[in-house]
Amino acid sequence: MKSKKQATSVNRSENSKKIDLDLDSVNDASTLLTTNQGVKINDDQNSLKAGPRGATLLEDFILREKITHFDHERIPERIVHARGSAAHGIFKLYKTQSKYTKASFLTDTSVETPVFVRFSTVAGSRGSTDLARDVRGFAVKFYTQEGNFDLVGNNMPVFFIQDAIKFPDLVHAVKPEPHNEIPQAASAHDTFWDFISLMPESAHMIMWLMSDRAIPRSYRMMEGFGVHTFRLINEKGAAHFVKFHWKPLLGVHSLAWDEAQKISGKDPDFHRRDLWESIENRNFPEWELGLQIIPEIDEHKYSFDLLDPTKLVPEELVPVQRVGKLTLNRNPENFFAETEQVAFHVGHIVPGIDFTNDPLLQGRLFSYTDTQLIRLGGPNFHEIPINRPIVPVHNNQRDGFMRQTINKGRTSYHPNSLGGGCPFQASMKEGGFTSYAEKIDAHKVRERSKSFFDHFTQAGLFYNSQSEPEKQHIVDAFSFELGKVETISIRERMLGIISLINKTLATEVGYKLGLKVPIPEKPINKSIPADGVEKDFQPIESKPEIEIAASLSMANTVKDTIKSRVIAFLAADGVNEQAIAGMKKILEENGAKVDIIAPRLGRIQGAGKKEILVNQSFFTAASVLYDAVYVPGGDQHIATLAADPDAIHFLNEAFRHCKAIAFEIDSKPLLKLTYFGKKLTSNKKEDGLISSEKQQDIRKEFIKAISRHRFWEREKPRKIPA
């Protein structure tokens, strides 16, 4: 056996060429080919046959093992959240939260808790695009010193439905339609909007889904939310309600919808690649864990019900306290073993954290174990390395498919005397989990609390809190999605629901759909109260505590960094190398990445005869994959680009998607050929267009512009070709 780091040859056959490999990528147990039973294989080229031209023998256990394993390489993908990407990291607490919880990872600031985080889209299958308009999963497994805690959240703080019993209906409606399996990873189809238009409780979530939050720039630039209200329990057994948040240190940023659709073609792995490369480049993604703490006494204080997962607690009412930092610093070694096999469960909690009666959360507590049984093939999925806690596991559970542990001894029951009574129950002092003793005194009913029946107030609050461009994007998203719906009555019914959220929004969407806003059908909540008589409850309208919540708009996010942004430099032979070098240096010093894009790969020659390495060509790159564009000067280079339609398209598209573009004064002949070049001749200053003619310090101005992310105001008037 060779040591792990030693270079070696992987194939020992006499005539084969020796290949030197870093043994990190090779199984370190042995360098010889073996069966799964460890038997060394002598011939991996031929199956066992009755003579060279004879039938293959059933006896060939090597062939059968190999083919059988291959046949089972794919496991059922997740029914939802199938498309995902993940990374390892650590969580570090800033300040003890012992006032609220006894969970050690939230009380002991000396501990670094290892984590594994998986981001996902919901509707698409495993191979679908990262860029779907969709909710993003944000699932975090904390390997704490008291066992695993999974915070299985999303990038939106609310959900479509209030009760778990509707989840299969929701998912059937959004998945590709059953007769023709169309469309993939998209909610823009009849069955989804049919369901939604009949489910008024989804109104708030639909506003988030139609907003730019559904098309993030990067997983690293998304917020995360635990969605449900949970409980924190302290050492004395006292409880507080809590909402969990993740706040990205790079701010919350999104793409343009046109851009997202194009990226789906140019690089459907865009988010996966972005996460992977950021970690490889040591631009470690970071979030702060935020807690909104609500005393138990305030349970009924608000105009909404804390147990209703279609409502959020505005930060303006209960501030988010940032208590620690999550840093993702290591990519998985093996996608299948880690990202695919990780099994999250909202029911994985540790002492100091507990549930509430949110009916969606209660249903999830059943679903996540059940789904792993089918997906990972049995009850032993906790033994897969990525799912194992870092603390020892001792119990009397035994056997089953794929059992890894070799339990020793005679006893697998409790109480026992033959095994000395082991394993023992843990007292509270020893860290044993005890459930919060919430008082329950009620009739058994299939009913929903009336406090869940205000479906439109927070949907309206969300809309009112958006900036003008964000509002416009919501109009566009509804117009796109409902425009793809074939059944006119569904479009109309949905328009009616939108009018209950905001009349102007409904009128604008109606205009785009060529439909009059109908008088909305009265949404009805069917319920059977305790007296057994079926009643229809009309939605209620509560008086919100606030009219606008600034925290809900991405316009108010962090906009002071260009860290990890990717900037395109367009160049051709004859480019001014000093301009390139100067701009590149300052952007990289500020944490951005630069790609030189030219008509061909290889090296180009600058005006001063210096060679410049090209990173991408117009064949391999596209403006939608970049955050900003820089056009250096140089007569010959500008003339070449001006004659290249791909270069002109690149610039037009970057302009259309509201990106920062910086150009040196001598690039004018190229810019004149672009859509926005005409604007340059006027003296009117266009935000985000930076020219060495107009700005004193083009480099400083460019950095400021990139950190603003996008200049959405540019979309007005909205007739920009590209």
- Binding residues for ligand HDE, rule: CB under 6 A, are 78-81, 84, 118, 120, 137, 139, 152-154, 159, 164, 167, 227, 309, 342-344, 360, 363-364, 367-368, 371
The smaller minimum CB distance to ligand HDE, of residues 31 and 371, is found at 371
Q: Note whether 224 and 245 are within 8 A (CB).
A: yes
Q: Is the Cβ–Cβ distance between 484 and 189 less than 8 Å?
A: yes
Rounded CA-CA distance 169/122 in Å is 14
Nearer to ligand HDE, 330 or 375 (CB): 375
Burial class (CB in 10 A: 0-12, 13-18, 19+), 261: middle
Contacts of 130 (CB under 8 A, 6+ apart): 83, 85, 121, 263, 264, 268, 269, 270, 271, 272
Which uninterrupted H or E stretch holds 211?
Answer: none
Kindly state the smallest distance separating residue 154's Cβ from ligand HDE, in Å.
4
Min dist. Cβ of residue 448 to ligand HDE (A): 14
| Cβ-based nearer residue to ligand HDE, 81 or 240 | 81
Tell me if residue 357 is catalytic: no
C-alpha span between 680 and 147 (Å, rounded) = 61
Which among 148, 154, 155, 380 is annotated as catalytic?
Answer: 154
- CB of 150: closest distance to ligand HDE in angstroms? 9
Minimum CB–partner distance for residue 200 and ligand HDE (Å)? 18
Kindly compute the dihedral angle of the four CA atoms of residues 510, 512, 515, 517, in this order, to the nearest 10 degrees: 10
Closest approach, Cβ 77 to ligand HDE, in A, equals 9
148 given a catalytic annotation? no
Q: 118 or 668, CB closer to ligand HDE?
A: 118
Per the CB < 8 A criterion, the answer to whether 106 and 350 are in contact is no
- 176-197 residues labelled b (16+ CB within 10 A) or e (exposed): beeeeeebebbbbbebbbbbbb
Cβ proximity to ligand HDE, 360 vs 654, nearer residue: 360
- Quick one: 129 or 154, whose CB is closer to ligand HDE? 154
Main-chain dihedrals φ then ψ at residue 473, nearest 5 degrees: -65, -35
Q: Tokens 């409790």 belong to which residue?
A: 414
Environment class of residue 505 by beta-carbon count within 10 Å: exposed (0-12), middle (13-18) or buried (19+)? Answer: buried
- In angstroms, the CA 581 to CA 573 distance is 15
Alpha carbon distance 192, 174 (integer Å): 5
Separation of first and last alpha carbons in the chain: 59
C-beta separation of 391 from 147 below 8 A: yes
Q: Which of 216, 130, 207 is nearest to 557 (CA)?
A: 216
In whole angstroms, how close is the CB of 187 to ligand HDE at the nearest point? 16
Tokens standing for 670? 């190229």
Q: List, in sequence order, every residue forming a beta bridge with 570; answer none if it has no partner.
A: 597
Select 141 or 714, whichever has its Cβ closest to ligand HDE.
Answer: 141
Residue number, 361 or 567, with CB nearest to ligand HDE = 361
Position with the least CB separation from ligand HDE:
137
Catalytic choice (81, 189, 228, 348): 81
Q: How far apart are CA 23 and CA 25, in angstroms?
A: 5
Minimum distance, C-beta of residue 125 to ligand HDE, in the bound complex (Å): 13
**Whole-number minimum distance, CB 206 to ligand HDE, in Å?**
15
How near is the Cβ of 284 to ligand HDE at its closest, in Å?
A: 20
Please tell me the distance from the alpha carbon of residue 416 to that of residue 134, in angstroms, as a whole number. 52
DSSP for residue 34:
B
Closer CB to ligand HDE, 81 or 709, in the complex: 81
Distances (CA, A) of 187 to 35, 133, 162: 46, 7, 20
Query: Residue 156 and residue 216: Cα distance in Å, rounded?
Result: 11
Annotated catalytic residues are: 81, 154
